[in-house]
Structure 1
Amino acid sequence: MAETLSNLFQQFLLYMQSGGFVMWPLLVLTIILWYAIGYRFHTLKRGSKKSVRVLIRKYLTGKRQKTKGLIDRAIVDAIEAVNGKCDGKRGREIIEDLFFPYYQDLKRYRKVISTIVMVAPLIGLLGTVIGMIETFDSLASMALFTQGGGIAAGISQALFTTQLGLVVAVPGLIMGRMLDNKANMMELELEQIKDILCAEKGLDNEI
């Protein structure tokens, strides 16, 4: 087992070295990207699959259950605020203040993901350019091998960096769009919670 892990680690190092120094920033971006995706995936758990209106009426009648996601927690917190803290003049504003951390959670790491998805292919392209320069330098001197590795190393660097840049960006783009769509739907549901509760409790004092 230890020998297998050692061989895999050696192969990984060879792969990273074949792509040149550009591979290491791409590796760091990969780790950050999947941490951000994992965080958003965990944060954007909705909870119950029932509609917002059904959940609110269920909780208002005292049928409480364990909260499993962001929307469940938002409803419970909003009802507690309405029942215990709100006055008839400031109900909507208090709920909006209460929901501010929820909106922050919905947006957290969104820009990080979109930035990495945009930057990773460009860094891969930089590695491609560096690899092609190495290749043409070797061709100009008619050297198969130089201090930088020669033609073979230049081609490897050009291909590996492009490959890794796309491997980072494409899944990140797909997952990022899916999570953004989910976050947008949950933002709309938070607005629904405010509207329904204010209507149910007569707190909507907007002119």
Structure 2
Amino acid sequence: MFWLQMQMEALGGFIDKGGPMLLALGVLVFILWTLVFERIWYFQTGVKKDIKAAVDAWEERAERTSWAAHQVREMLISRARQRIEALLPMVATLVALAPLLGLLGTVTGMIEVFHVLAVTGGVAKATLPTMSGMVIAISGLFAKTYLEQKAEVTSKMLEDHLTMDH
């Protein structure tokens, strides 16, 4: 319990030093990683059901070589791809937004620093949001890349499962 209290006090001090943009970055990182973990969970559990539904719908077709069959195949792939790639644009947006919020914190912090530099040494308010935003962006970039690659491989796998042999 004492350890948790010390960590909370350290976090409070970090936010006090970094200014209000760190709170915005905290909300952003929470949303970002919630979406990332949701997509990871989906790839571990739900994607199999979506692929099976598409494959089953395709396999139920008696005829798979006509133009209409090709259009049905493309529709099945497109619907599955929508579910596979869901939330990825939001993850990409949040990753791009993190350094912008950090820079906004830098600008607002610099304005305050110029007013009180001699008294409080407020340089931390100008640098901590930038650093935090960059750390969030870098970690989110890795997650975004992983999820995009996973979505691409999964979509290709679905295309391979919907054979055109009939």
TM-score range, shorter chain: 0.7 to 0.9
AA matched with 2:99: P
1:162 paired to 2:161: no
Q: Which residue of 1 aligns with 2:43?
A: 44
| Structure 1 vs Structure 2 CA RMSD | 2.3
| CA apart distance, 1:94 | 4.4
Misfit runs of 4+, over 3 Å: 89-101
TM-score (norm 2): 0.84
Q: 1:119 aligns with which of 97, 102, 122?
A: 97
AA matched with 1:158: A
TM-score (norm 1): 0.69
Structure of greater Rg: 1
* Greater per-residue helix proportion: 2
Q: Which residue of 2 aligns with 1:55?
A: none
| CA apart distance, 1:16 | 1.0
1:107 paired to 2:89: no
Where relative contact order (Cα < 8 A, 6+ residues apart) is larger, the structure is: 2
Q: Which residue of 2 aligns with 1:7?
A: 6
Matched residues in 1 for 2:53 and 2:101: separation? 44
Unaligned runs of 5+ in 2: none
Q: 2:114 aligns with which of 136, 144, 159?
A: 136
Q: Percentage identity across aligned positions?
A: 29
Q: How does 1:51-200 map to 2 (within 5 A)?
A: 70-71=47-48, 74=51, 76-82=52-58, 84=60, 86-88=61-63, 91-139=69-117, 143-144=118-119, 150=120, 152=121, 154-194=122-162, 196=163, 198-199=164-165
Unaligned runs of 5+ in 1: 46-67, 145-149, 203-207
AA matched with 2:81: Y
Kindly tell me the number of residue pairs found equivalent between the two proteins. 163
Matched residues in 1 for 2:35 and 2:144: separation? 10
Q: Which residue of 2 aligns with 1:63?
A: none
